[in-house]
Structure 1
Amino acid sequence: MKAGITLMAIEIIQPDGLDTPETYSHVVIATGSRMVFVAGQMSDDPHGDLIHSGDLAAQAQQVFANLGRALAAAGARPDQVTKITIYVVGHRREYLPVIERARVGLFGEHKPTDVLLGVETLAAPGYLIEVDAIAVV
């Protein structure tokens, strides 16, 4: 097993025999007293209205900003996130750099585990990306 990196209550492991992804970790071990579950965040303004319709890059930035706000409201930091799920309408490989830039804007060097799913649609027309999260604090 490759050496793990310990960040407070989170240990990140990139196992031998698996690739070393640039933006996520294969395994996160978390110990803490509280779990925080954040619902899927979308490109909404404070009134719940879609902003940046049709613009994946702008929506991704807004989604990760909203995720950061939700975490902060629960007393959690981005470096305490253990897993995210990213839902992308009509996902194509060329979307990855756009999503990764927005992701790094919130997480920096921290690499929680993730799942990225291409989906046909989200909750309403115009939404292109949604991200939920689990944190341990």
Structure 2
Amino acid sequence: MNERGLDVMRTSGYTHSRQAKLAREPARRIVVHPTEGRKQMALECINPRDLPTPQTYTQVVVATGTRLVFVAGQEPEDVHGKLVGRGDFAAQARQVFGNLGRALAAAGAVPRHVAKITIYVVDYRRDEHLPIIEAARVSLFGDHKPADTLVGVVALSPDYLIEVDAVAVVDG
């Protein structure tokens, strides 16, 4: 266990001293998700020691499973295709992550199966937007931290401020 209570497995191909090895090895966390009547699906979450350790995502995710699920960019729309939260970034962020959860469920996947997300934000300003994104993201993913990319964009559909897509791995 590390200081954050995560199970960490360290592996190495180095032949130097143990201390030198630990300095170079990535931190690895194997997350195994049992599925009813199916094989187990695993995500190996790796934060290499020579890269910053992010608090909200994982630098590298190695997925083993038999079925890839690609979720199209989820927009801040209700079931009728109407924009939710015009001008309200927090409302739109909650909506896109909620829509992402519903899209995953439709494919037989759950948030912990997600290996990678991409977040698109209009006129991205880190200090303003990141705390709101993280709150919406935690509401879907809890402590699961898929790899992610956050991209600032000039525009999405008119009045749309955020969009999120995902790749999940499920045995099946």
TM-score (norm 2): 0.77
1:6 Cα deviation after fit: 1.3
Unpaired runs of 5+ residues, structure 2, are 1-24, 33-41
* Aligned counterpart for 1:37 among listed residues 66, 70, 76: 70
Q: Using the aligned pairs only, state the percent identity.
A: 63
Which residue type is aligned with residue 27 of structure 1? V
* Aligned counterpart for 2:162 among listed residues 118, 129, 134: 129
Alignment pair present for 1:97 and 2:131: yes
The answer to which structure, 1 or 2, has the higher relative contact order (CA under 8 A, 6+ apart) is: 1
Q: Helix, strand or coil: the match of 1:88? A: strand
Structure 2 distance, partners of 1:5, 1:105, is 22
For 1:90-129, what per-residue CA distance to the aligned partner results, in whole angstroms no more than 9, with x for missing partners? 000121101111011111111111110000111x211000
Structure with larger Rg: 2
What is the match of residue 3 of structure 1?
A: 27
Alignment pair present for 1:49 and 2:82: yes
Which residue type is aligned with residue 129 of structure 1? I
For 1:25-83, what per-residue CA distance to the aligned partner results, in whole angstroms no more than 9, with x for missing partners? 10000000000000000110001110101100110001000000000110111111010
Q: Which stretches of structure 1, 4 residues or more, deviate above 6 A after TM superposition?
A: none
Aligned CA RMSD, in angstroms, stands at 0.8
Alignment pair present for 1:62 and 2:86: no
TM-score (norm 1): 0.97
Alignment pair present for 1:82 and 2:106: no
What is the match of residue 112 of structure 1?
A: 146
Structure 2 distance, partners of 1:3, 1:62, is 33
1:3 Cα deviation after fit: 3.4
What is the match of residue 47 of structure 2?
A: 14
Unpaired runs of 5+ residues, structure 1, are none
